[in-house]
A = this chain, B = another copy of it.
Amino acid sequence: MHALKVSCSNCSLRELCLPVGLNRDEMAQLDAVIRQSRRLKRGEYLFRSGEGFRSLYAVRTGYFKTCVSSQDGREQVTGFHMSGELMGLDGISSNLHGCDAIALEDSEVCELPFSRMETLGRDIPSLQHHFFRLMSREIVRDQSVMLLLGNMKAEERLAAFLLNLSQRLSARGFAANDFILRMSREEIGSFLGLKLETVSRTLSKFQQQGWLVVDHKHIQLVKPEELKQLVAGCSQAQH
């Protein structure tokens, strides 16, 4: 735990640092590679699709969306990213970033130069393993989004989205049932494969049923169990 303070002093990467179990020396090596954090204003691009890929980025504070665009301008939000989460993994395959990453509020990220991380992974097996796990986790996440987009109805999608947010926020020490949406209705809709009007209507419906209270971007989950029941059947089976 002490090593943690030393190494991650400039970077609150729960997800990235904690589970690896590095010793102090390894931590110092890692620390030498992680660049000073970079600050972004709301709306600013961290990277754009097609740009050269050099680094992964871990959210330190703030909030990001990543999205891909089609040629005729349709935009698909592929994810929302909060503190401790990693962005840019899709750039490794072609050495070009495969999506846009945009700050949804003033934010701060740690830059992890990939080739140096790769080299370091050879010396620190647990770090290498951790990177494989992070990439695999991203694949698992994407699969569950496919299940959502391919099989669920609007109400199920939105309920799953809200519960996922709630769970991630509470894992970071925030209230699970009282939070601020950092993104617009349109961005939620893009992520869920719905139009913004449908998102709005579905939120209103949940409110009418007394399951939650909506006040603009402020959401209070009053009966999260009801939402859970709604997604229980259509969420991925556990084994």
Contact = CB atoms under 8 A, between A and B. Distances in A.
Interface of A: 48-51, 68-72, 74, 76, 78, 89-94, 96, 98-99, 118-119, 121-122, 125, 128-129, 131-140, 142-147, 149-151, 190-193, 232-239
B122 A128 contact: yes
Given A136-B91, A237-B49, A239-B50, A142 B142 contact: yes
* This chain: copies in complex: 2
Interface of A is mostly: helix
Contacts of A76: 143, 146-147, 150-151
A140 B97 CA distance: 10
Contacts of A78: 143, 146
A232 to B, nearest CB: 6
Contact of A143 (B51, B99, B136, B191): B99
A60 B76 CA distance: 34
Contacts of A118: 125, 128-129, 132
B136 A71 contact: no
